[in-house]
Amino acid sequence: MHQSHIVFIFGILGNIASFVCFLAPLPTFYRVCKKKSTEGFQAIPYVAALFSAMLWIFYAYVKTGAILLITINAFGCMIETIYLAIFITYCPKKIRMSTLRMILLVNFGGCCAIILLIHLLAKGDGRVKILGWICVVFSTSVFAAPLSIIRVVIRTKSVEFLPFPLSLLLTISAIMWLLYGVTLKDIYVTLPNIVGLTFGTIQMLLYALYRKNKPVKDQKLPEHEGDINNEDKQEEMNPTQNRDIQIGDKKEEKQEEKLNIEQDQTEVINNNMNNIGERVNFEV
């Protein structure tokens, strides 16, 4: 099979995988529209994802011959713009203004500055190299996003908040674009997807390791024997009062434990949803 055909096949497979990944946040934004609230989600990852897609489109345009990078990132620009429009519609007024300023500064000002500098400072192949390394640095630097999910999985020893289908799909997407970059002999497409494949593999291994586990609950025990003796004496002197105290303590512990679990859930779900569109763009 001719090399151009192999490149085309991997590019099409990468487009399909990334297309599905781009649609992954739809349930989140459906919930935002239904509740008319952004529920604490942040716009930064979507602004970054839009910026990344714009960079890759410009890179593919300057490089020429990478039409499959343009197609998927053009769709990425469209879907990320829709996500941001929904976010701006339902977020609080103060956040709305800061988000609009961020979009103006990053997506408009940042891209215009890069385009201007590329045309002024480089010519020919030099433009491809400079722009390619900008894309690599930007894409690789944000791959720390899954670390928060990995950290929670290791701490809780549970994969309850690690969506296996999404992680698998993102890993497949990274593999397809990695093979596309290798067959195309494009180091700037290859490098970020090596990082993406690494994080995807780590998540797969963690899922295999902890998939049957349940979260470990902390249990507080007296540190000294004297504490135990004192508790026994107090119970003998006033058992009713002591039982009330114990019930109150247990309630407080349960509330505290529930609060910690909810915080972990919020942290992981927010990171998961916020990083879906972001990671897809960084892997292509």
Asked whether 113 and 253 are in contact (CB, 8 A), the reply is no
Q: Dump the DSSP string for 164-190.
A: HHHHHHHHHHHHHHHHHHHHHT-HHHH
In this model, does residue 3 exceed pLDDT 80?
no
In this model, does residue 13 exceed pLDDT 90?
yes
**pLDDT band per the 50, 70, 90 thresholds, residue 170:** confident
Asked whether 164 and 271 are in contact (CB, 8 A), the reply is no
Element (H, E) at 257: helix 239-282
Mean pLDDT, all residues of the chain: 78
Which position has the higher pLDDT, 217 or 87? Answer: 87
Q: What is the pLDDT of residue 263?
A: 54
Q: What is the pTM of this model?
A: 0.73
Instruction: Return the percentage of the chain with pLDDT > 90, whole number.
Output: 30
Q: What is the pLDDT of residue 227?
A: 43
In this structure, the dihedral spanned by the alpha carbons of residues 26, 28, 31 and 37, taken in order and rounded to 10 degrees, is -120
In this model, does residue 283 exceed pLDDT 60?
no
pLDDT tens figures, 225-238: 444 444 444 444 45
Q: Domain ranges in the chain?
A: 1-211
Tally of CB atoms within 10 A around 19: 16
Q: Dump the DSSP string for 146-165.
A: THHHHHHHHHHT--TTS-HH
Between CA 148 and CA 131 the distance in angstroms is 29
3-state secondary structure of 31: helix
Backbone φ and ψ for 91, nearest 5 degrees, come out as -80, 160
pLDDT tens figures, 84-135: 999 999 999 889 999 999 999 999 999 999 999 888 888 878 889 999 999 9
